[in-house]
């Protein structure tokens, strides 16, 4: 919390008034990035034959995810038993959202649940990894965008009813 307060230019006391613990801070962060980057049940992606074009058009939006949020989301999704207690709520909420917004509708289009879940997690991990790589200067944004388009094409192309 000290690092967050320092970076935001506020006192720790003020930060703790707003967010008494890391879990509440993570929940607020997720509530702000979810609708923009991961969709909601109320505003789902177009899971039909237009999904491929829609996702390719959104590549720049996906790559605009803040690096810190990408690192946090990646750790929350992939941390497993090593995930800190403050991230467990975030992980559960994130995975629940992926199931409701992406996996469930893809299954209803005739895809098996395991393949749907694997496809969604693959996409999310590709996005999160590329955001971090660009943010750390390891790859250019243009190269990341090309790779993301290729990944989306392959992932969506393997699913029934989405291309």
Whether 91 shows a pLDDT value over 90: the answer reads no
Is 5 within a domain?
no
Is 9 within a domain?
no
The residue range of the domain holding 141 is 21-157
Is 163 within a domain?
no
Query: How far apart (Å, rounded) are the C-alpha atoms in residues 57 and 59?
Result: 6
Is 129 within a domain?
yes
Q: What is the pLDDT of residues 23-64, one digit of tens each?
A: 787 777 777 777 777 777 788 888 777 888 889 999 999 999
Number of domains in the chain: 1
Is 162 within a domain?
no
Selected residue with higher pLDDT from 122 and 2 = 122
Closest CA to 71 of 18, 122, 40, 26: 26
DSSP labels for 64-117? TS-HHHHHHHHHHHH-GGGS-HHHHHHHHHHHHHHIIIIIHHHHHTT--HHHHH
Query: In this structure, are residues 16 and 2 in contact, taking their beta carbons and an 8 Å threshold?
Result: no
Is 1 within a domain?
no
Is 97 within a domain?
yes
Q: Mean pLDDT across the chain, nearest whole number?
A: 84
Whether 11 shows a pLDDT value over 90: the answer reads no
Whether 123 shows a pLDDT value over 70: the answer reads yes
Query: In this structure, are residues 129 and 74 in contact, taking their beta carbons and an 8 Å threshold?
Result: yes
Is 10 within a domain?
no
Residue 141 sits in a domain whose CATH number is 1.10.357
């Amino acid at each position: 919390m000290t690092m967050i307060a320092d970076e935001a230019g506020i006192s720790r006391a003020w930060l703790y008034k707003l967010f008494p613990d890391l879990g509440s801070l993570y929940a607020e962060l997720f509530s702000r990035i979810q609708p923009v980057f991961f969709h909601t049940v109320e505003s789902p992606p177009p899971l039909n034959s237009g999904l491929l074009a829609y996702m390719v058009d959104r590549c720049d939006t996906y790559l605009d995810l803040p690096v810190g949020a990408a690192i946090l989301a990646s750790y929350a999704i992939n941390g497993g038993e090593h995930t800190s207690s403050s991230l467990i709520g975030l992980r559960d909420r994130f995975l629940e959202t992926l199931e409701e917004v992406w996996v469930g509708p893809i299954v209803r289009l005739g895809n098996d649940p395991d393949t749907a879940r694997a496809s969604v997690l693959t996409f999310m991990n590709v996005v999160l990894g590329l955001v971090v790589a660009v943010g750390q200067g390891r790859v250019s944004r243009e190269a990341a965008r090309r790779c993301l388009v290729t990944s989306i094409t392959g992932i969506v192309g393997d699913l029934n009813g989405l291309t």
